[in-house]
Each structure stands twice: as structure tokens, then as C-alpha cells.
Amino acid sequence: MSHFPFLFLDQQLVLTPQKTIYWQQEKALLLADLHLGKVSHFRKSGLAIPATAALTDYQVLNSLLRTYDTEKLLILGDLFHSVINSEWNVFADWLDQNPNLQCILVKGNHDVLPELIYRNQRIEVYPETLAIGPFLLSHIPLEKFSTSYYNLSGHVHPAVRLRGSGGQKINLPCYYFGQNQGLLPAFGNFTGKAFIHPEKESRVFVVTPDQVLPVQI
């Protein structure tokens, strides 16, 4: 897979096809909108989704941890989709298998589990924002914040539509870096997409199954 090195605000970032950002200075993996538990939620509603689909995220995470020297997992909201179900136990077991990994959650609108559940699994929880280095991390893009920080968030599930010379169209998730705010693509497989309208002088990187590519929109 082709990962994209990206020097931004004097920070060494790597944009991955797995829809995560590796932040070299912090030895941190950033991701948003995992929506763990959604497979079980859908199956309970009668949708024919294989139970093994819930394990794909862990295979991806394990691959990333093997690739990068990671000490922190920074989750920008919507870790778990809804009320607790059996998939939480899978996530808890995965964390237990990675005892040296610091797990930090900036809560999203879907993160409704009792605080004790997070604490028992040694997850640091921040209700709205977390400032680290030049970044102010949040789940929902902030409307008001100090310009001393650059706001990185999730929630939107950003995507763009590309058109080929022959009239072909393809919709792809993307990383978006505007003047003061950036968006991470949704990590989870069972999430929708929202088309964004990039502002001038923004940077957009589309995500394909095996590479990350800069594009002009």
C-alpha cells in the first residue's frame, strides 16, 4: 500500500489508505468514526451482514501497529456506534492484547456508553476537545476556537466526486485540510459519505483501497 507523507504545521504526518493519520512526533495513530458495534446493530435489525465483518477493523489496526511505532491511539469520536453489545468485548480484548498502547477518546455524538465502561478499559476520555501540539482535536468540526490551534475533526465522513475525461464519475473518501480546520475520513466500513466543497487553497487527498493521492478540486 502507498502511504502519503505530509509535512503540515511542521509536523510529520503520514496519510494512510486505511483512513488513519500517523503522527510521527507523537508516535500516535489518529482515526475517527470507527462505529464499532454497528455490524451487530445492523444484524439485530435483520440485515444480512456476516458476523466476521466486525473483525476487519482489528485486522487493519493490527497491520498499522506493525507498520508504525505507535504509542497512542487518538480517536476523534464515535468509537462505538450505540448501546453496548458483544462487539465491545472484542474491542476490550484487543486493547488487552496491546497493553502498552495509550487509548484516548475525544467523545462523539454516538459515544453514549457509561463513563465507567471506558475507564475500566483504560481509555482516557475527553468530552469535547483535546489540544496536542498545534492541533485541537474534536469530533464535530468546531464553530469557534482559538486560531492558535488547527482544528482536526471527524463526524462529517468527507468525500469528493471525481470526473474523468470520458464522463466517468467516482466517489471517494478523502482527507481534507482547509485554512483552519481539517477532516479525517471515517475509519469504519459501514459508514456513509458526505460530499464536501473545498475552500480555496485547501488540500484534498483521496483514499483508494491501496493508496492516498492529492487531487485538485
Query: What CATH number should be reported for the domain holding residue 76?
Result: 3.60.21
For residue 200, pLDDT over 50 is answered with: yes
Which pLDDT belongs to residue 210? 95
* 101 — pLDDT class (breaks 50, 70, 90): very high
Summarised one tens digit per residue, pLDDT across range 45-81 is 444 444 565 688 899 999 999 999 999 999 999 998 6
CA distance linking residue 132 with residue 57, whole number of Å: 26
Of 168 and 181, more confident: 181
- In a domain, residue 148? The reply is yes
Domain limits at 35? Answer: 4-155
Q: What digits encode the pLDDT tens for the residues 131-161?
A: 999 999 999 999 998 889 999 999 999 999 8
Q: What is the pLDDT of residue 9?
A: 98
Residue 167 counted as domain residue: no
Is pLDDT larger for residue 205 or for residue 87? 205
Contact 211, 2 (CB under 8 A): yes
- State residue 41's pLDDT score: 46
Work out how many domains the chain is built from and give that number.
Answer: 1
Residue 139, in any domain of the structure: yes
Residue 38 confidence class, pLDDT cut points 50, 70, 90: low
Percent of the chain with pLDDT over 70: 87
Classify residue 163: in a domain, yes or no: no
Question: For the CA atoms of the chain, what is the radius of gyration?
Answer: 17
